[in-house]
Structure 1
Amino acid sequence: MKKKFILLGVLLALSLSACGSKGTEKADDKTAKTDSKAKTSIDTTGFLVTSINADIQTADPDKTSKDYMVPLNIFDRLVEVEVKDDGSSELVPSLAKSWDISEDGKVYTLHLQEGVKFSNGADFKSDDVVYSLTRMLGVTGAVNGDFVSQIEGADKVMDGSSKELSGVKAIDDYTVEITLSEPYAGFLACLSASPVCMLDKDTTEAAGDKFGIDPSVTVGTGAFKMAEWTVNDSIVLTKNDTYWGGDVSLPGVLIRVIPDSETRNMMFKNGELDILDFDFMIDYIDTYKKEMPDVLHHTPRVGVTYFTFNENIEPLNNVKVREAVCKAINRQEIIDSLMNGVATIENGIFPRGLIGYDSSLPEIKYDPDGAKALLAEAGYPNGFDMEISVDSSSSDTTKTVLEVIASQLNEVGINATIKNYDESTWLATRKDGTLGSFMSTWTADYNDPDNFIYTFFGNEKNTKQRSLNYPDKAVMDRVSAARTIVNADERMAEYDELEKKIVTEDFAWLPMFSKEHYYGVSKNIEGFKPNWAGISDMRFVGFSKK
C-alpha cells in the first residue's frame, strides 16, 4: 500500500506540473474576449460555423499531409469510409459506384458514377481519374504518393523518369482499369484516404501553382465549393448546386482561424461557433461533462499510442524482460490520472474503429509482482538500467506519461531514465535503429490493418527505422504476404494470429491506449458525424442547421 501511495503522489505532482498555467484556465470566464466577425465579403447567414486553431497552407490535397478539411468537402474520392451504428466501419462507393477485382488481386476495374459534374460545370470522366492518380505521384511538391504507390509504374512517375502512369487506363468515359505491381488487398482503403481526391484535369492544369491557393480555380465534385480564403482569418465554403450526391442542406460553412482555446470556448458558449473541437483544449472536457454534457459527442481516434522495445539493446532482446516491462506499467492508472478520461486501454496493434479490430485479445495486466518474478527468471533479480527516449518537442502530457512510466518501472527494480533529444536528432536516431524505448502514436491514414502492422513489422527495413529491430523474419514475411491475400476473411484471420504472436507472445511492443476525440456540437446542428478516423477534418455533407 505504501508504494501505491507514493506512486499516486508522483502522478498527482507530475499531472499538476504538466498542466501548467493552462490547467488553471476557467472555462466559464465570462470576461474572455471574442472576435465574432470574420473578414469575409460573403453573406454567411445560416452557414455552419466551425474553427481551426491554425491556418491551412494549401487546399491542394496532393501538397498537404495535414490540412484536409477543405479537400474533404470540395473534392470527392472514388471510395469513402462509412461508420455503422455499432461503431465499426466499412468502405462504400463514392465516385466509383462499383468495382471488380481480378482473381489474382492485381487488376481493379472501377465503374464510375455517370452525370457527375465539377463545380465549374465540367463533366467528371475517366480521364480525370487517370490524371488525378498520376498527379498525386508526380506533381512538384507531392507528399501523398505512398497512398497509390502500389500501382504499376508508380515508381517511374515518382522518380521523374515517366510522366505517364502505366498501371491506370481509361477504358471508356466511365470505366477505369488499375493494375497493381503486385496484389495488395488494402488498395481500396487507400483510395478512400483523405488526400486521394479526384480533380478536374483541364482546370487544375490551367491553374498551375494557383491550384489550392486561388478558390476560383480550385474546383471539385464535392458538396461545397471553396468560395473565399482570407489568410489567418477564415475560409468560406458555399453549397455546390450541381452536387451529384443529393441535396445539401447547408448553404455553406464558415471556417474561422482561432488560435486561442479560451476564445473558441467562449464563442461556442455564446453561439458564435456551431462545432467546438476539443483538440488542444482537453482541459475543458471535464467542465463540459459537468455543465453541458448534452452538447458533447465523441468518437474513437482510430489510432494507438504504444511503447517500444529496441531488441538490439540488451536485455530488451530477452522476451521475459520485455514481458516484465509490460506487466510493470499500469496503463489504467495513467489513463485515470493523466488522460482526463478520454482514453481506453488497447491490447493489440489494431485500434478500435479500424477494420480488423479484435476486441477479444487478452489484456496485458498490471502485475508488478509477476514482473519481478520474470526479471529474476531472466537473470536480472536486481533489475537493470534502461533508457526511455523522448523528443523535446513532444507535448507536456507525453513527457509526463513517460515520467510516470519511469516511476512505475523503478518500482520493480528497473532503473529507467529519460533522455531528451531535439526533434531532428530523435528522428534520425530512430531511423538508424539505435533509439532507446519510446512512446509514440500511430493514427490511421486509411482504414486497413496493413496501415499499422506493415508499417512496423512488414520487413527488416521498417522495423529498423522504427528502432524496434524485431528479429523474427518468418513473422515479417507473413506480414508482407498478408497484403496479397485476396480472401478478406482469410486475411483478417491471419492478422489476428500475427497480432497475438507479436504482442502477446513476443511482447515486441506494448499497446498503451487509444484516445476518444471530443466535440461540442450546438443543438442547432443536426446530422453531425465526425470523420471515421477521429481526425479534426470532417465532411459536412449530411449536416443541417436549424
Structure 2
Amino acid sequence: MTCVQLKYVGLLAVFLAITVNAAGDLSAAETAPGGTLQIGAGGSDVTTLDPHRATTSTDKPVIGLMFNGLVRFKPGSADPKDLEPDLAERWETSTDGRVLTFFIRKGVKFHGDWGSLTADDVVYSLTRAADSSRSSFAADFAPVEGITKVDEHTVRIALKYPDPNFLGRLSNYHGGNIVCKRAAEELGDKFAAHPVGTGPFAFSEHETQRHVKLAANEGYFRGRPQISTIMYRTIPSDSARELAFSSGELDVIQGRREQRWVDTTRQRGNMVVDVFRPGEFRTLHINTSIPPLNDLRVRQAIAAAVNFDDLVQFVGKSVSLKGCSVVPPGYIGEDCSAGAYGYDPVKAKALLAEAGHADGLTLKVVVSNISAILPTMEIIQRQLAKAGIKLDMSVVDHATYQSQIRGNASALVFYGAARFPVADTYLTEFYHSRSSIGTPTAVANFSHCDVADAEIQAARVEGSVERQQELWKEAQRKIHDAVCSVPLFELQQVWGHSKRVNYGYELKGAMNLGPPITETTTLMPR
C-alpha cells in the first residue's frame, strides 16, 4: 500500500470515527437529554416503595420522586403556607369548613400502561391511606367522614369537624400520595415493590441493598423531566458516600448532620452543602412496658441524667435546634410551659436509689449504626453511665433497627421524625395509646404512653382554635410529667450536590427529607 493510500485509509478511519461518535452523541441527546443523576442516600436499603407505608428517612426521598398529591408543597419549601395545586387544578371549601371539593386535572397519565388518573383513583388512594391495615398514616385521616366521587374528575371529602390543617394531609407527602387503583388492586402485596404513580419519575428496578433505578416519566403532566434516569443508591457508610462523590460517581449525597462536617466540606469548595427543614425531632422514648421503666422515678432519673446542652453543642448550632416540648419546635400547638427537664446527675442517682436501684441498673437498647443516630447515642450512653444507668447497646444496621424497635425489643428508642407541622400529628403518632407498638393500630408510640389520650382526641375535634391550643398544652404537660420520653433536639437535613446539578429552585425545605428532583432539575455534562 502506498503512502497516499495509507493516508487515505487513515483519514477514512478518522472520518468514520467522527461520524460514529457524532451519531452516538445525537442518539444519546435524543434519548437522554439530561443523562443519569446519581444520588447517594444513607441507610442500607429502602424498606418499602409503597407510599402509604414508607416512613423511614431512606424511603421517603425516593417516594417523593414517583408520586403526587392533590396539592403539593412548592418545590424547595416545607412551609404549609406554600401549598399549591398538584393533581387537583383547584378546590373549594364549604362555608362551615367541613366539605372540600377537588377538581382533578384531566389527561394525567400513570406510569407505564396503567391508564389515566380519574376520581376513582383519588377516592381509592385516600380511602387506602385512611385504612390502618394498609397505611401507616391512617390517624391523619381521622377527621374524614366520607370520600365520594362526584364525577370522573371531581372528588368530595366530608369531614366530621372543621380541620384547618387537613389540606396539608392531602399533599404529596405520606398519606396524601395518590396511587393507581388498578395497579394496587392487581399487584396486591407486590405493589410495594412495583409502585405506580404519576410523578416525574417512574420505577424501573430495585436491587436489594444497592439501588433503586427510576426513569423519566415521558408523559409527565408538567413536562418531560430534564434528567433521564435517577440511580438512587443506598450507601450506609458516610465515608463511602463521600469518596464516591469525590471520585465523580455520585452527583448528590446525603451528608453528615454534624457542624464540623458542614463547615469542613464548605471550606473544601468541591460540594454545595444544603441545610434545610423540616428537621427530624430527636427524642429518647422510654419504653414504659419494660421493668423497671414502668417506675416513674426511674424515668425521671433518666431525664435528669441527660445533658441537653452538650448534645446540641456536639451536633452544632446550624444543624440543630434544642427542643422544649414533646412537640417539635415551630409546630402549630407547640407549648413549652411545662419546662425542659433539668440536667442533674446527683438527683438522678437519688431517684434511682429511692426506686431500689442504689447500685445502678442496666438497660438493653437497640441502636442504628447510621451517623445520625449512633454518635449521639454514644454520648447519651456516657451521660447516663455517670448516674449509674448502663446501656447495653446492640448496634445494628438501620433496617434491623427499624424492625426491632417496632418489635418492642429496646428499653430506650432514640428516634427522629419530621411530620406535618401541627401538634396533632406528633401527639397522635407518638403518644396516643392507639399508636402503641404491638397493637393492631401501631404507629410509633415506642413508650406505650397513654396519659393524654383524652386531650389529644378532644383537641382533634375542637372547633375553637383557642380551646384546641389549651388541650394540646394540657396533653404536652401530662406527657412531660409522666416522662414518657425525653425530647432532645431537632436535627436539620444535610445534603450536598455537585455544581453540575441545578435543582431548578431554592432549597429551603423538603417534607420528604431529600432534595426534590423535578422536571426542571438539570445536570450539566462533565
1:520 aligns with 2:496: yes
1:243 aligns with 2:233: no
How far has the Cα of 1:267 moved from its partner? 4.4
Give the match for residue 61 of structure 1.
51
In 2 relative to 1, CA 255–80 (structure 1 residues): closer, same or farther, beyond 3 Å? same
Give the match for residue 226 of structure 1.
202
Cα distance in 2 between the residues matched to 1:364 and 1:281: 24
| Unaligned stretches of 5+ residues in structure 2 | 1-27, 440-444
Q: Is the 8 A contact 2:436 2:449 kept in 1?
A: no
How far has the Cα of 1:130 moved from its partner? 1.8
Give the match for residue 363 of structure 2.
388
Give the match for residue 126 of structure 1.
119
Q: List per-residue Cα deviations over 1:252-275 (Å, max 9, x = no partner).
A: 342243636555434433555332
Give the match for residue 303 of structure 2.
326
Cα distance in 2 between the residues matched to 1:267 and 1:506: 46
1:303 aligns with 2:280: yes
Q: List per-residue Cα deviations over 1:234-287 (Å, max 9, x = no partner).
A: 62432545514xx56624342243636555434433555332222699995454
Q: Is the 8 A contact 1:302 1:352 kept in 2?
A: no
How far has the Cα of 1:174 moved from its partner? 3.3
Q: List per-residue Cα deviations over 1:10-56 (Å, max 9, x = no partner).
A: xxxxxxxxxxxxxxxxxxxxxxxxxxxxxx99943424613245665
The aligned amino acid for 1:519 is W
> Which one of 472, 482, 485 corresponds to residue 509 of structure 1?
485
> Which one of 422, 443, 453 corresponds to residue 448 of structure 1?
422
Q: Is the 8 A contact 1:302 1:353 kept in 2?
A: no
1:416 aligns with 2:389: yes
1:290 aligns with 2:267: yes
Give the match for residue 153 of structure 2.
174
Give the match for residue 516 of structure 2.
538
1:350 aligns with 2:327: yes
Give the match for residue 499 of structure 1.
476
Residue 365 of structure 2 aligns to a residue in which SS? strand
In 2 relative to 1, CA 261–468 (structure 1 residues): closer, same or farther, beyond 3 Å? closer
Residue 483 of structure 1 aligns to a residue in which SS? helix
The aligned amino acid for 2:328 is P
RMSD: 4.8
How far has the Cα of 1:408 moved from its partner? 3.0
The aligned amino acid for 1:456 is F
1:73 aligns with 2:46: no
How many pairs align?
A: 472
Give the match for residue 9 of structure 1.
none
In 2 relative to 1, CA 237–335 (structure 1 residues): closer, same or farther, beyond 3 Å? same
Residue 124 of structure 1 aligns to a residue in which SS? coil
In 2 relative to 1, CA 256–249 (structure 1 residues): closer, same or farther, beyond 3 Å? closer
Cα distance in 2 between the residues matched to 1:467 and 1:236: 34
| Unaligned stretches of 5+ residues in structure 1 | 1-39, 154-166
Residue 177 of structure 2 aligns to a residue in which SS? coil
In 2 relative to 1, CA 173–86 (structure 1 residues): closer, same or farther, beyond 3 Å? closer
Give the match for residue 32 of structure 2.
44
The aligned amino acid for 2:51 is P
> Which one of 195, 199, 214 corresponds to residue 179 of structure 2?
199
How far has the Cα of 1:335 moved from its partner? 3.9
Q: Is the 8 A contact 2:430 2:446 kept in 1?
A: no
The aligned amino acid for 2:122 is V
Which range moved further: 395-404 or 522-531? 395-404
Cα distance in 2 between the residues matched to 1:213 and 1:462: 27
Residue 324 of structure 2 aligns to a residue in which SS? coil
In 2 relative to 1, CA 394–123 (structure 1 residues): closer, same or farther, beyond 3 Å? closer
Q: In the TM superposition, what are the counterparts of 1:352-391 in structure 2 within 5 Å?
A: 352=329, 354-357=331-334, 362-368=339-345, 371=347, 375=351, 385-391=360-366
**TM-score of the two chains, using structure 2 as the length reference:** 0.70
Give the match for residue 268 of structure 1.
245
> Which one of 458, 461, 478 corresponds to residue 484 of structure 1?
461
The aligned amino acid for 2:488 is M
1:146 aligns with 2:138: yes
The aligned amino acid for 2:363 is I
The aligned amino acid for 2:226 is L
Q: Is the 8 A contact 2:39 2:251 kept in 1?
A: no
Q: Is the 8 A contact 1:258 1:264 kept in 2?
A: no
How far has the Cα of 1:170 moved from its partner? 0.7
**TM-score of the two chains, using structure 1 as the length reference:** 0.68
Cα distance in 1 between the residues matched to 2:85 and 2:447: 38
Same amino acid, percent of matched pairs: 20
Which range moved further: 72-81 or 251-260? 251-260
Q: List per-residue Cα deviations over 1:435-465 (Å, max 9, x = no partner).
A: 64x1421413544322211233324873997
